[in-house]
């Protein structure tokens, strides 16, 4: 599926199994940042977010806002969200840039 359409299936603050990247046309999924479940669980705990992370220990994970940045870097050669601080805003700027480019 087209990159902007794929990103719209994600949430900027969501955590996903990296295998979902196979649905996004035109990108190299190995060029998208991934994280281990252990590192992600530690990050959640350190931020005091609560909740549970239910994935296999072998699954690599991706974060919605980072996926948007890395997809833009691959397809547009830039990061439209670079000047912004919030994950949601970064994500939205990336989706908008991909849509404008027909991606």
Condensed to tens digits (0 to 9), the pLDDT of residues 16-32 reads 999 999 999 999 999 99
The closest of 70, 69, 76 to 30, measured between CA atoms, is 70
- Residue-number span of the structural domain to which 49 is assigned: 3-100
**Model confidence band, residue 95 (pLDDT cutoffs 50, 70, 90):** very high
- pTM more than 0.85: yes
Domain count for the chain: 1
CB 25 within 8 A of CB 7: no
Rg of the chain over Cα atoms, rounded to whole angstroms, equals: 14
């Amino acid at each position: 599926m087209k990159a902007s359409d794929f990103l719209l299936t994600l949430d900027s603050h969501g955590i996903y199994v990296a295998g979902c990247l196979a649905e996004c046309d035109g990108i190299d999924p190995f060029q998208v940042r991934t994280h281990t479940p252990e590192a992600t669980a530690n990050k959640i705990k350190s931020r005091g977010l609560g909740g549970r992370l239910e994935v296999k220990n072998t699954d690599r994970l991706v974060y919605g806002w980072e996926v948007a940045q890395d997809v833009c870097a691959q397809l547009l050669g830039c990061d439209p969200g670079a000047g912004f601080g919030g994950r949601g805003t970064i994500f939205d700027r990336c989706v908008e840039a991909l849509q404008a480019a027909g991606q």
